[in-house]
Amino acid sequence: MHTAFGKRTVRLPGLAAAMLGLLLPLAAWAEHGVDTAFGEVTLPEAPARVVTLYEGALDTALAAGVVPLGAVTTRGGDGVARYIEAHLDEQRPAIVGVVREINLEAVLALQPDLILAPPQLPEAQYRLLSRIAPTVVPPTEGLQPEAWRDEARLFAQAMGREAEIEAMLEQVDARAAVLAGRIAADEAPSAVLVRWMPQGPMVMSAQLFTAGLLRAAGVAIHDAGLVRAGVSHSDPLSLENLARLEADWLFLATLNEEGRDALEAAKASPAFARLDVVARDQVVAVDGQLWSSATGPLAALAILDELDAALSP
Tens digits of per-residue pLDDT, 43-87?
A: 988 899 999 999 999 999 999 999 999 999 998 788 999 999 999
What are the structural domains of the chain? 28-160 (3.40.50.1980), 185-308 (3.40.50.1980)
β-pair type (114-116, 135-136): parallel
Residue 7: is its pLDDT beyond 80?
no
Q: How far, in Å, CA of 262 to CA of 269, rounded? A: 11
Burial state string for 282-303 with b = 16 or more CB within 10 A and e = fewer than 16:
bbbbbbbbbbbbbbbbbbbbbb
pLDDT of residue 14: 45
Lowest mean pLDDT, pick from 68-82, 120-134, 154-168: 68-82
Closest CA to 299 of 120, 80, 72: 80
- pTM of the predicted model, to two decimals? 0.87
Least confident of 130-144, 154-168, 193-207, 296-310: 193-207
Q: Beta partners for 52?
A: 116
How many angstroms separate the Cα of 132 from the Cα of each of 48, 115, 126, 292?
A: 15, 9, 10, 31
Highest mean pLDDT of the ranges 2-11, 22-31, 117-126, 197-206: 117-126
Q: Where are any strands of DSSP class E within 180-255?
A: 190-197, 200-203, 220-221, 249-254
Quote the CA–CA distance of 131 and 126 in Å, as a whole number: 9
CA dist., res. 189 & res. 256, Å (int): 28
Q: What pLDDT sits at residue 6?
A: 37
- pLDDT at site 187: 76
pLDDT at 76: 78
Q: Indicate whether 31 pLDDT > 90.
A: no
CA distance 227 to 218: 22
Q: Band the pLDDT of 25: cuts 50, 70, 90.
A: very low
* Interval 177-201 mean pLDDT: 86
CA distances (Å), 268 to each of 96, 154, 219, 263, 281, in order? 40, 46, 29, 9, 15
User: pLDDT by residue (tens digit) across 97-116?
Assistant: 997 899 999 999 999 999 99
Q: Please give the C-alpha separations between residue 188 and each of 129, 184, 193, 244, 313, in angstroms, as whole numbers.
A: 46, 7, 16, 20, 15
Query: Is residue 154 scored above 80 in pLDDT?
Result: yes
pLDDT of residue 199: 83
Confidence of residue 36 (pLDDT cuts 50, 70, 90): very high
Binned at pLDDT 50, 70 and 90, residue 160 comes out as very high
pLDDT in tens, 230-250: 899 999 988 777 777 889 999
Between 274 and 47, the more confident residue is 47
| pLDDT score for 263 | 78
Give the whole-angstrom CA distance, residue 96 versus residue 203: 31
223 near 187, Cβ under 8 Å? no
